[in-house]
Amino acid sequence: MISEDNLKLARFIDGALADPKQAGVPFAVAGHVKTDVQEFRTGNNVAVNKNWDFYKGRQTKYFVQRYNEPNEAFADRKKNAIIPNYCKFIVDVGSRFLYGKPEGIRRQYSANKKTEDRLRQLEGLNQIPKHQLKSKKLAGVFSEAITRFIPVDERTNEQVTNVTTQTTYPRAIHLDARYAFPLCNAWGKLIAIVIEYKTKDYANNKDMEILELVVSDSRWTWHDGILASAEANPWELGAEFVVQENSDTDEDDIQGILNLQIKLDESLTDAQHFYESHGWPQLVTKTDLSQVVKQPGYIWEISSENDGKVLDEIDYLTWDGKMKEARQHSQDLESYVLKMSFTAKMVTGDLEALGQLRTGAGIIAAYGPSIQKAEERQVVWRQNEINLFTAMAKMDAILHNQSVFNRFPDLNISIVYSDEFVPGEELIRAEIAAMAMNSHTTTIRDEQRKKFPNATEEEIAERRAEIIKDSEELTDSKRAFVTEEKGGDEETPTSSSEKKSKEQKE
């Protein structure tokens, strides 16, 4: 691991600008940072390029040629492979469970109206629900999602490279983890990042490889290995870049199912080959049928050399349709994939998984593995979002030449995720809460504390008073309506028993 003291590179700027050949130390640091990040990922079994191929369905690249399998057969098997892409499905499902219901996520930034309003505005400008949905997908594939803030003008939607204005804001963009290498210290603080990308030099009509190194005190850029720029870093490293972790163990969502995915692909591909090869019945006979015309409208005249009937010597060799073992093998592989990824089979939409479930509570229980996984991810992503909005506030303050404390007074970010994962779950929870309050085993305050965990006791008391007030107004309006229907206070309503007695007399 590179020491933070070795990342103080500003002292090399003047010499490197005078003679780009003297930029050897920063260039070597960039290489070491990249190597350290790659080794860290390898230690956590994160193969970013392989994971991306699996997510995109390019899984035949990893098929292995079987013993004595001809090259032509192997190529044909890969060309006609069936790819039930559970890697993409599992990553996307995990993202939907966390961010697929944006209205169910409560974000609070401060009790101060100035801070709340500005961060609400930045949330809208950056389309945070969409940004975070993509972040979770990228983290599910790469184990981390890397966000970079760049200054953009709100009016023109163009990047600001010179003097910022009042309409400049920090725009969040994603970096590709295959070409971005963020180095963090033991407690997760970002201390350096290396970014590689290719671009087109249209003036000279050639491709260009760009290498960028950003540390706390300086920024370095190389074009095709030649130093292009070196300058002091005007921004805080943790304000420009944010690394959002997928899990507390720095793992992606699919590393445990890659081999199972390949086995499932091959199993279904083999089954398809069998169906195609043996789906049509084969005619079997001892009689020479080479001269028989095989077209509609022709009559076959066949003589047998034996005494028996010709039909006794002609039959079909047919596939009996029993592929139970092979089909069971594929189903077992699918089951292993779902179990290893903690994904409930109900999530696939398979109606067979409903079984004998007839109640909402039973269906919720069947979603158990996916719900538990989503709740575990909420712990990590709650902190991810706090880091994201903290960096956003810092960058916005820097762009407007203010301190964070002045531009965002009383900054206190809180994120509350929805606990409703299954259709109908909200109704069940509401019914349980209503029964608990009616049986006096809980109070309105208790329910409001569950619903708004970050609210103060004063806010809880205000909510309780508002609920009681609304309830009283609703009750009074119902009483007034009933009184009006009965004709007011002057008339005494007739009871149902009196009415029934009069009807019986008549």
Residues 50-70: tens digit of each pLDDT: 999 999 999 999 999 999 999
Classify residue 431: in a domain, yes or no.
no
pLDDT tens readout for residues 395-438: 999 999 999 999 999 999 999 887 776 655 566 667 777 787 78
Query: Quick one: pLDDT at residue 477?
Result: 76
Higher pLDDT, 86 or 356: 86
Q: How would DSSP label each residue in 294-361?
A: -STTPPP----SSSS-GGGGEEEE------HHHHHHHHHHHHHHHHHTT--GGGGT-GGGGTT--SHH
3-state secondary structure string, 33-45? HHHHHHHHHHHCC
What value does the mean pLDDT take over residues 242-266? 94
More confident residue, 416 or 495: 416
Q: Classify residue 199: in a domain, yes or no.
A: yes
Residue 250 has pLDDT above 90, yes or no: yes
- Total domain count for the chain? 2
User: What local confidence, expressed as pLDDT, does residue 403 receive?
Assistant: 94
Q: Is residue 224 part of a domain?
A: yes
Q: What is the pLDDT of residue 427?
A: 61
Least confident of 156-160, 460-464, 472-476: 472-476
CA dist 94 and 138 (Å) reads: 11
315 pLDDT above the threshold of 80: no
What letter would DSSP give residue 420?
-
Task: State the pLDDT at residue 486.
Answer: 62
Task: Note the pLDDT tens digit of each residue in 449-464.
Answer: 767 765 667 788 888 8
Q: For residues 161-175, give the mean pLDDT.
A: 92
**pLDDT at residue number 324:** 74
Is the same domain home to 31 and 127? yes
447 and 402 in a common domain: no
Rounded to whole angstroms, the Cα distance separating 356 from 345 reads: 15
pLDDT of 201: 81
387 pLDDT exceeds 70?
A: yes
320 found inside a domain = no
Q: How confident is the model at residue 242 (pLDDT cuts 50, 70, 90)?
A: very high
User: Same domain, yes or no, for 170 and 216?
Assistant: yes
Assign 182 a pLDDT band (cuts: 50, 70, 90): very high
Q: Alpha-carbon torsion 184, 189, 192, 195, what sign? A: positive
The answer to whether residue 488 scores a pLDDT higher than 70 is no
Q: Is the pLDDT of residue 212 over 90?
A: yes
User: Which pLDDT score, from 0 to 100, does residue 308 have?
Assistant: 60
Greater confidence (239 vs 366) lies with 239
Least confident interval from 77-86, 134-143, 271-280: 271-280
Q: Is the pLDDT of residue 165 over 80?
A: yes
pLDDT confidence of residue 142: 97
Residue 327 belongs to a domain = no
Q: Is the dihedral of CA 15, 20, 21, 24 positive or negative?
A: positive
Query: Which is more confident, 94 or 450?
Result: 94
Shared-domain flag, residues 52 and 134? yes
Determine contact, residues 78/63, Cβ cutoff 8 Å: yes
With contact defined as beta carbons under 8 Å apart, do 333 and 397 qualify? no
- If asked whether residues 153 and 246 sit together in one domain, one would say yes
The whole-number average pLDDT for the span 89-115 is 90
pLDDT band at residue 306 using 50, 70 and 90 as cut-offs:
low
Last residue in a domain, options 358, 391, 407: 407
The whole-number pLDDT of residue 145 equals 97
* Mean pLDDT computed over every residue of the chain: 85
Full domain range(s) for residue 176: 4-255+374-407
Locus of tokens 């593995």? 369
| Residue 447 shares a structural domain with residue 397 | no
Average pLDDT over residues 479-491: 63
The reply to whether 286 falls in a domain is no
Q: Does residue 112 share a domain with residue 19? A: yes
What local confidence, expressed as pLDDT, does residue 190 receive?
Answer: 95
pLDDT of residue 229: 93
Q: What is the pLDDT of residue 213?
A: 97
What is the Cα–Cα distance from 73 to 418, expressed in whole angstroms? 51
Confidence of residue 21 (pLDDT cuts 50, 70, 90): confident
pTM over 0.75: yes
pLDDT of residue 489: 54
pLDDT band at 6 (very low <50, low <70, confident <90, very high): confident
Check residues 217 and 487 and name the one with the higher pLDDT: 217
User: How much is the pLDDT for 78?
Assistant: 93
Q: Is residue 284 part of a domain?
A: no
Return the H-helix or E-strand segment holding 77: helix 71-79
- The confidence score (pLDDT) of residue 184 equals 94
Of residues 424 and 49, more confidently modeled: 49
The predicted structure's pLDDT at residue 484: 66
Among 136-140, 217-221, 366-370, 485-489, which stretch is predicted with the lowest mean pLDDT? Answer: 485-489
Residues of the chain above pLDDT 90, percent:
51
Residue 422 in domain = no
Residue 356 reports pLDDT greater than 80: no
Helix (H, G, I), strand (E, B) or coil at 1: coil
